[in-house]
Amino acid sequence: MEKKTDTIVIGGGIIGLLTARELVMSGQSVTILERNPGAGLESSWAGGGILSPLYPWRYPEAVTDLSVIGHNEYPELAADLFQATGIDPEFIRSGHLVLDTEEYEQARLWAMEFSKKILLDSKVKFLSRIGCEEIALIEPELSENFLNAMWLPLIGQVRNPRLVKALIKDLILKGVKIKTRTSVERINSRAGKVISVETSDGKWSADNYLVTAGAWSASLLKETGMSLDVEPVRGQMILFKTDPERLRRIIMNNGKYLIPRRDGHILAGSTLEYVGFNKETTDSAYQELWQAAVNMVPFLKTTPVVKHWAGLRPGSTNAVPTIDRHPELENLVICSGHFRNGVILGLGSAQLAAKLVTNGDLLLSNKITASSYSAL
């Protein structure tokens, strides 16, 4: 029997969940089709939850503009989800120490522009360069080998698994249907529109369709004649366990980072590996991550590692996602390719994708692709 809803969202990761929330709050009936046993079990669960792109001054303007929305709105979203569901996404404004300081001038210029767009406490400087004495005050556990750093005190974090759980419960309370273990096997179209999708649980139809399938988006859309700029990129991480607040700040050096959680867990990441859809962990990545962590924070040398995992990110050119209508199927929208930044870019992306799905004014919700983009 064919099932009908206003909008079908294909993929229940962070992008799909956030966009479904935008859609249901606009009055749409929404069904999420997720191939896994639960929603948000791929890169959405595996990621670190830093509410900023890593080295944000290196990115195109489209990424910066989407980041502004996330920076401004995550505190309220986290509070709303906690109140509605009783699940705390653990938004914390940890602050961020970047130990690579050779890009300071580039970072300073970026911060000047970024700080004009965000909700900023006028008493707090968004980015500053600091020396060893200030570093020791801000993060006493950092290695003494680092003499300079860039300090971004307003950068926050969320705990990905808790954010996903809160979103799922919130969506269910709002009436969204989440169908797990439901793989989309075929997209049926006629006369320039999608008419249904064939799944492992039968045929589903809707007025509109949204693909938010992360690293799997390109293969799903290939049969529709669309070549999507998305490929899987494996990222491995390890998790230390120590006393709460032993480490307080997000720390970044030479592409590797440490994220302290409220309960004493410290997440160390991450690798960038182009190995297709292989999600296996490796001993070499473990050693690489462990050594980078110990170099930054020496006490981790004697701190137990309690977990090692891998996830597949939806890699894209310049890490710019595609948020656009399908070139030939007018009721099919794509929102994918967020690479390492799905959480921070997710809120802005969801708002744009929801406007496209509901035929919003494209002057207000500009299309974003990896090859051409415009400011929001």
178 in the same domain as 76: yes
73 in the same domain as 45: yes
344 in the same domain as 300: no
Task: For the chain, give percent helix, strand, coil, nearest 5.
Answer: 35, 25, 40
How far apart, in whole angstroms, are the C-alpha atoms of residue 206 and residue 30?
9
Task: Assign residue 214 a region (left: φ > 0; alpha: ψ between -120 and 50; beta: otherwise).
Answer: left
Task: Mark which of 315, 336, 356 sits at the end of a domain.
Answer: 315
292 in the same domain as 236: yes
Output the pTM of the full model.
Answer: 0.92
Task: Mark which of 275, 299, 315 sits at the end of a domain.
Answer: 315
Q: Residue holding tokens 């490796």?
A: 282
239 in the same domain as 204: no
86 in the same domain as 199: yes
Lowest mean pLDDT among 112-116, 231-235, 369-373: 369-373
Nearest 5 degrees, angle CA 349-CA 333-CA 369?
60
Q: Determine the structural domain holding residue 137 and report its residue range.
A: 93-155+231-315
Q: Which pLDDT tens digit goes with each residue over 227-275?
A: 999 999 999 999 999 999 999 999 999 999 999 999 999 999 999 999 9
Instruction: Name the domain count of the chain.
Output: 2
Give the pLDDT confidence score for residue 376 in this predicted structure. Answer: 37
How far apart, in whole angstroms, are the C-alpha atoms of residue 205 and residue 7?
8
Task: Mark which of 271, 291, 315 sits at the end of a domain.
Answer: 315
Give the pLDDT confidence score for residue 35 in this predicted structure. Answer: 93
CA 137 to chain centre: 30
How far apart, in whole angstroms, are the C-alpha atoms of residue 235 and residue 47?
8
Domain containing residue 324: CATH number: 3.50.50.60
Give the pLDDT confidence score for residue 368 in this predicted structure. Answer: 56
Of residues 191, 190, 184, the one with CA closest to residue 222: 184
Residues of the chain above pLDDT 90, percent: 86
Q: Mean pLDDT, to the nearest integer, of 146-172?
A: 96
How far apart, in whole angstroms, are the C-alpha atoms of residue 128 and residue 100?
13
73 in the same domain as 178: yes
Q: Kindly write down the DSSP assignment for every residue of 247-296, as one continuous string.
A: S-SEEEETTEEEEE-TTSEEEEE---B--TT-----HHHHHHHHHHHHHH
Domain containing residue 142: CATH number: 3.30.9.10
Give yes or no for a cis peptide into 196 (omega within 30° of 0). no
Edge-to-edge strand order for the sheet containing 265-269? 128-131, 148-152, 96-98, 250-253, 256-260, 265-269, 231-241, 305-315
How far apart, in whole angstroms, are the C-alpha atoms of residue 184 and residue 200?
7
14 in the same domain as 87: yes
